[in-house]
Amino acid sequence: MSSTVSDASGPDAVTASAHEAATPVFDTLVVIGPGLIGSSVLRRAQQKGTLARQLIAVDVSPEARARVEELGIADRVMADAAEAAALADCVMLCVPVGAMGPVAEKVLPVMRPGSILTEVGSTKVSVIEAISPFLRPDVAYVPAHPMAGTEYSGPDAGFATLFEDRWCLLTPLDGTPPEALNAVRTLWERCGARLREMTPAHHDRVCAIVSHLPHLLAFTICGTADDLADETRSEVLDFAASGFRDFTRIAASDPVMWRDVFLSNREALLEMLARFMEDAQAMARAIRWGDEDYIVDRIQRGRAIRKSLIENRQA
């Protein structure tokens, strides 16, 4: 698939053909925030050569820029987001969700007519709200969210196969031109991802239960265990075997990223947390009254979910 972007007309000028596998989707892809996600896209783009002809990385952090240079995963590394965005036919924001609005405000005024702005934020409603005031009719905006990651962050954490066999969720807006949506879809397909479209609100509810609440629980359980170790001055954490260790992997995730995710998906996350607490109360009641059937039923449901994820190569 190739997408050509006219300088003179709007996003409708982007043309795409799904079968031209060898032609890069974009001419110049600018990745703003080449951390775990952004540097994985760059690595994949470099490895395959079918995502973009030229790769530009932009980061506010001098250390991150130096590291991207050393790793050699972009053709150019720049400090000024606006200067880079003016060269692009696609700008991909890979910064923490709280920085999406301010970065969009910088880049949108200078983006070329007919170009595409996309982002990979873990939440969608509030990111779209933050970006929307700066949108222009001649630049297409395609919100996306690759459901892949690790507990590590920064340019060293990325790898080219991160998105393989993972979902990438697209939440197009009413005005998102189909050609632009198609170009972003092809980019993620070429990263190895499986694509699904949904509304931003549905996205946020789904991610609240399958991603944001599990992180909240992992951070909380680690904090509780740590408090207990302090209070009792005992070695509880020394005996943490694999059950607790599985939580600590998730709890090792980046604090800035997760602070932003929790605050920007506040409503859906609090709703899922309330439901979880009701279910946890029900489990507490079952344990108190010795309700063996309830306990076994809940555990069996957990096992069934794990089994189906393994069968679908998601675990």
Ligand X SMILES: O=C(O)C(=O)C[C@]1(C(=O)O)C=C[C@@H](O)C=C1
Dihedrals phi, psi of 268, to nearest 5 degrees:
-65, -40
What tokens were used for 163? 């998105």
Smallest separation (angstroms) from ligand X to the CB of 314 = 10
Give DSSP secondary structure letters for 143-182.
Answer: EEEE----S--SGGG--TTTTTT-EEEE---TT--HHHHH
Inter-residue contact 206 to 272 (CB < 8 Å): no
From the list ligand NAD, ligand X, none, which binds 59 (C-beta under 5 to 8 Å, kind-based)? Answer: ligand NAD
Give the Cα separation of 219 and 117 in Å (integer): 33
Provide the binding-site residues for ligand X, judged by CB under 6 A. 122, 147-151, 211, 250, 253
What tokens were used for 247? 């939580």
- Contacts to ligand NAD from residues 97-126, by CB under 6 A: 97, 99, 103, 120-122
Smallest separation (angstroms) from ligand X to the CB of 99 = 15
Give the Cα separation of 301 and 315 in Å (integer): 16
Smallest separation (angstroms) from ligand NAD to the CB of 296 = 34
Smallest separation (angstroms) from ligand X to the CB of 270 = 18
In the block, residue with structure tokens 């709890």: 251
> CA torsion, points 297, 298, 300, 305, in degrees to nearest 10?
140
Smallest separation (angstroms) from ligand NAD to the CB of 174 = 23
Is 131 a binder of ligand NAD (CB under 6 A)? no
From the list ligand X, ligand NAD, none, which binds 64 (C-beta under 5 to 8 Å, kind-based)? Answer: ligand NAD
From the list ligand NAD, ligand X, none, which binds 211 (C-beta under 5 to 8 Å, kind-based)? Answer: ligand X
What tokens were used for 81? 């987001």
Candidates 149, 172, 177, 200; binder of ligand NAD (CB under 6 A) is 149
10 Å Cβ neighbour count for 99? 18
- Contacts to ligand NAD from residues 42-81, by CB under 6 A: 58-61, 64, 81
Binding site for ligand NAD (CB under 6 A): 32-33, 35-38, 58-61, 64, 81, 94-97, 99, 103, 120-122, 145-146, 149, 153-154, 157, 254, 257, 261
